[in-house]
Amino acid sequence: MHHRRLPGLLFFFAGVLFPSQAFPQSDYRLQVDSTLVVIPVSVTDASNHFVLNLGRDRFSLFEDGTRQRISQFADEDAPLSIGILVDVSGSMAGKLAISQGAVTEFLKTMNPQDEAFLIEFSDHAQLVSGFTSDVNVIKEKMNTVQSGGLTALLDAVHLGLSEMKSARNPRKALLILSDGGDNNSRYSAAEIKQVVRQADVQIYCMGVFETSLFPRLSTAEVSGPALLSEISEQTGGRVFPARSFGALPGIARRIGVELRNQYILAYAPSNSAKDGAFRRVEVKLEAPDGLSGLKARWRTGYYAPAQ
């Protein structure tokens, strides 16, 4: 599978500085001396199809309300570090074969430069495979999973974000596969929201969500579709609910394709203060003639470096 590549740059990706070697070299080289903030953007039309080949002039980018100059723009495919979080709680009994199929379909979209890890969660969250570029390792681990226990989804997200700190690629994402809310985590929803905000990781989630299965969950601890949707959209990702588990393999492949069809906007912030503050980012899109209902998704902000 051939994918386009980003030119060599010096990247400050949502709070982390990366040298140009973090990206594969293109046929041409760009020398960039400044530190850049990089914002991946997905664009879809009214039919939810990806919109490609938009020019730089169609995008406007703002940080804390102040317009920024987009110094680098690309619709190229950079290497990805992905964390796969799979629900193996008791409610998933009889559904694991479909979950395995969904993970397999997603892995088909990976490139040789990509890497992935696998976390399973039920009563507890467990890292069963660390980062690897060998998709067969992930497949083999998925073939041995067994279901049982409660659902520590929030703990799995926390573990996934912690594991992502050792990622070698600047583009990072979590893929969560689950069928309901949380009912056994040590971490609260508020704690996870804060950790997600500080991370530079896009979060995608898919599943058949049955929040009615857990009527006694407290507001602070529940992490069903509402919470997952909130944290996913904050990162520039999203939730894909399915009417049946049989739809999950197709959804998984769509998520993989979406990660391969993102625009990359990079800018040197006009606010150069190293105060560790959260900077809110907004992207505005001007639709070409004849195209309407375009929707853009992006990471809502990043934390500035501290002194």
Whether 152 is in a domain gets the answer: yes
Give the span between the Cα atoms of 7 and 128, in whole angstroms: 34
Mean pLDDT of 123-132: 97
Are 206 and 239 in contact by the 8 Å Cβ rule? The answer is yes
Residue 40 contacts residue 299 (beta carbons within 8 Å): yes
Flag whether 196 is in a domain: yes
What stretch of H or E contains 229?
A: helix 225-235
Share of the chain above pLDDT 70, in %: 83
Does residue 296 carry a pLDDT above 70?
yes
Instruction: Supply the range of the domain harboring residue 38.
Output: 11-75+262-303
Question: Is residue 283 in a domain?
Answer: yes
Residues 270 and 253 in one domain: no
Q: Do 15 and 153 sit in the same domain of this protein?
A: no
Quote the pTM value: 0.79
- Could you report the per-residue pLDDT of 193-215, keeping only the tens digit for each? 888 888 889 999 998 775 444 44
What's the average model confidence in pLDDT over 131-159?
A: 94
2 domain residue, yes or no: no
Query: 3-state class of 160 per DSSP?
Result: helix
Based on the fold, state whether residues 145 and 282 are members of the same structural domain. no
Q: What is the CATH number of the domain that holds 117?
A: 3.40.50.410
Domain count, the chain: 2
**Is residue 91 located within the same domain as residue 103?**
yes
Tell whether 100 and 242 lie within a shared domain.
yes
How do residues 231-245 score in pLDDT, each as one tens digit? Answer: 888 898 989 988 888
In a domain? residue 4 = no
| Residues 217, 281 within the same domain | no
Considering the domain architecture, whether residues 129 and 141 belong to the same structural domain is answered as: yes
pLDDT at 7 over 50: no
Residues 168 and 21 in one domain: no
Q: How deeply is 24 buried, as exposed, middle or buried, from its count of CB atoms within 10 A (0-12, 13-18, 19+)?
A: middle
Domain assignment present for 1:
no
Same domain, 217 and 172: yes
